[in-house]
Amino acid sequence: MHRTALEMFGGLAKSYERTLDLATLVQDRYWKRWIADNAALSRGDRVLDIGAGTCLLEERLEGSGCEVMGLDLTEEMLSAGRDKKLGCVKLLVRGDAEYLPFREEAFDVVVSCYVPKYVELVAFAHEIARVLKDGGKVALYDFVRPGGPWLAVLALYLHGGMRIAGFLLSLAGNSAATTFRNLPRIVEGATWQERLPKLLARTGVRTVKNLKLTGGVVGAYSGKKSGESLT
């Protein structure tokens, strides 16, 4: 998965934000607002964004009075984020969500967009809980395997719309083609929304919300570290 992520995002950094708007039919803006609202940030909070990419979420957090550290596997994505020179961003580091290079209880809030489907969930849950302070909050979202009453529409979007977009982009030699070709397979296997809340609960992070947005295109989770593990 690490290799797939690097292949998908290494060459995509420059066109990532346009590609994201296309792939999510501009819904990403609403999902990022969900994160900003549900992370319930306070001035002075130290925030970790796992898989920060080009710092789209950080653009929304400008003026919030928070200090954000962003981590990502792909240097090209981080470099696009650095070019934005956002005041709230204190540090952008290359690193792996499964081995966070931060000390215990370093953050008040952990946020993450589109990462759970790429990572080993036991390590991801453990690392989130480890770097969160007691009472700290986590808010994240990602694509989930299509299901529910909108299954037919979601499957058409995933296997029809995205594949056709991938094919057309590859004909045009566009770097986003790899993303659209890989995403349907990865999203079909995305079962994180059932597993991650249980794994987080074992490490002392209890679920506040775990729901689906936009008819089930993405799952959105928020939680709070209580310090008591539920093993």
Kindly list the residues in this chain that would bind ligand SAM in the complex (CB under 6 A).
2, 5, 9, 51-53, 56-57, 71-74, 77, 96-98, 113-115, 118-119
**H helix runs in the chain, sequence order:** 2-10, 16-23, 28-38, 56-61, 75-82, 121-131, 151-155, 162-171, 177-188, 192-202
Measured from the CB of residue 120, what is the shortest distance to ligand SAM in angstroms? 8
Measured from the CB of residue 9, what is the shortest distance to ligand SAM in angstroms? 4
Measured from the CB of residue 231, what is the shortest distance to ligand SAM in angstroms? 25
Measured from the CB of residue 72, what is the shortest distance to ligand SAM in angstroms? 5
Measured from the CB of residue 116, what is the shortest distance to ligand SAM in angstroms? 9
Q: Is 77 or 162 the residue whose CB approaches ligand SAM more closely? A: 77
Beta bridge partners of 210: 221
> Do residues 66 and 43 make contact, with C-beta atoms less than 8 angstroms apart?
yes
Q: Is 53 or 136 the residue whose CB approaches ligand SAM more closely? A: 53
Q: Is 80 or 201 the residue whose CB approaches ligand SAM more closely? A: 80
Q: Is 71 or 154 the residue whose CB approaches ligand SAM more closely? A: 71
Please give the Cα distance from 6 to 99 (Å, whole number). 16
Q: Is 5 or 220 the residue whose CB approaches ligand SAM more closely? A: 5
Centre a 10 Å sphere on the Cβ of residue 96 and count the other Cβ atoms it contains: 18
Whole-number Cα distances in Å, 4 to 1, 7, 117? 5, 5, 11
Secondary structure (3-state) at 140? strand
Residue nearest to ligand SAM (CB): 53
DSSP designation for 99: B
